[in-house]
Amino acid sequence: MELLSGSFFSFSVMPICLLLMAAFSRTAECRFLTGGQDGGGQTVGENSYEATSCRAHSASLTDFGGVGDGVTLNSKAFQAAVEHLAQFSGDGGGLLYVPPGRWLTGPFNLTSCMTLFLHHDAVILATQDINEWPIIDPLPSYGRGRDAPGGRYSSLIMGFNLTDVIITGDNGTVDGQGDFWWAKFHHKQLKYTRGYLVELQYSDQIFISNLVFLNSPSWNIHPVYSSNIVVKGITISAPLHSPNTDGINPDSCSHVRIEDSYVVSGDDCVAIKSGWDEYGIAVGMPSEHIIIRRLTCISPTSATIALGSEMSGGIQDVRAEDITAIDTESGVRIKTAIGRGGFVKDIFVRRMTLHTMKWVFWMTGNYNSHPDGKYNPEAIPDIEGINYSHVVAENVTTAGRLEGIEKAPFKGICISNVSVEVRKAKKTAWVCENVEGVSSGVTPAPCDALKDEGMEATDCPFREDRLPIEDVEVKDCSLPFSYSL
Q: Which of the residues are catalytic?
A: 267
What are the start-end ranges of the E strands in 253-377? 254-264, 270-272, 287-298, 303-307, 315-335, 343-364
Half-sphere exposure of 367 (CA within 13 A, CB side): 24
**C-alpha distance from residue 450 to each of 255, 436, 467 (Å):** 31, 6, 30
Distance CA 424, CA 418 (A): 19
Contact at 8 Å (CB) between 34 and 11? no
How far is it, in rounded angstroms, from Cα 367 to Cα 410? 14
In 250-300 the beta strands, taken as DSSP E runs, fall at 254-264, 270-272, 287-298
Closest CA to 202 of 395, 465, 24: 24
CB atoms within 10 A of CB 272: 30
Angle 216-272-445 from CA coordinates, rounded to 5°: 115
Task: Please count the other Cβ atoms lying within 10 Å of the Cβ belonging to residue 248.
Answer: 29
Q: Is the dihedral of CA 22, 23, 28, 32 positive or negative?
A: negative
CB of 232 within 8 A of CB of 259?
yes
The C-alpha angle 171, 205, 386, rounded to 5 degrees, equals: 90
The answer to whether 209 and 235 have CB atoms below 8 angstroms apart is no
Q: How far apart are CA 477 and CA 272, in angstroms?
A: 31
What residues pair up with 227 in beta bridges, in sequence order? 204, 254
Beta carbons within 8 Å of 53's beta carbon, 6+ residues apart:
15, 16, 17, 30, 32, 33, 93, 113, 115, 164, 166, 477
Distance, in Å, from the CA atom of 331 to the CA atom of 324, rounded to the nearest integer, reads 9
